Structure 1
Amino acid sequence: MASALSALGDGLPSARLDAEVLLAHALDKARTRLRGWPEDPVSAGQAAHYRELIARRARGEPVAYLTGLREFWSLPLEVTPETLIPRPETELLVEIALSLTPADEPVTIADLGTGSGAVAAAIASERPACHVIATDACP
């Protein structure tokens, strides 16, 4: 972990969090498992994978692209470099949409230019009676 923090340097305010998330991903374990059982063995392949993830993060690649996941509205979303990473402040848009949408009426909601589909998925998870349509144009 110390070498990972050194590689990420002072330029990343989230260096420790990034290093932990990437280690958990490389080991396919929860972050809480890492803290609770730090003596768990790490294979050479896992260590090499972790070093590669740290190197890519140090070059500026977002953690979400490295892990392939991003949480939004408590939903785990798959992301790739071809997908926009949902921003936490976009959850405000979900809050506004939910405040305007009756909880028990089966209205249709359209999310045009949906990108990752995060907003549509969040609304659909909160308003199961609604019909949510999400669409985007991908090259």
Structure 2
Amino acid sequence: MDVEKRLHVAADSLKREATAFDEKLFMAKIFGALDIVTSGGGDTGPRVDRVTAVHPGPGGPQEDAQSEAPPDLLRFRAELNSLKTYVSEGGDNQEGGDNPRKLRRIAELVELLDGEQAALPWWQRAAEEGDELAIMTVEDMTAATK
């Protein structure tokens, strides 16, 4: 596999993702997930006085072994759960060419969190949808097992 081609495809993909980032939509989703009501008039800042759900204190039901995990891993796990929900609810069919990119991101996160073997089915799904990086990754993974 040509390393330069793989890096070029990965860089193009990152460039598309970075330029397509919608900060207001992202913040609206985060506030919605946290049950935080935002004020009207285009202000996307949270109104702390209107928080509808409060995290329980120490020892509450949300405290578990995951709370001791590094923040990055928790963020990656949350992103993975969000993407899996989105894909399973058919959201990928509504946005046209978005599906391969989302499937590839799921594969990347599963590989990071759960290992290469757990990620292989997601890489294969992304490759079947036409994602170039996923196609190269599946080729490399299957070649390594032979």
The TM-score normalised by the length of structure 2 is 0.28
Task: Name whichever structure is richer in strand by fraction.
Answer: 1
Task: Name whichever structure is richer in helix by fraction.
Answer: 2
The TM-score normalised by the length of structure 1 is 0.29
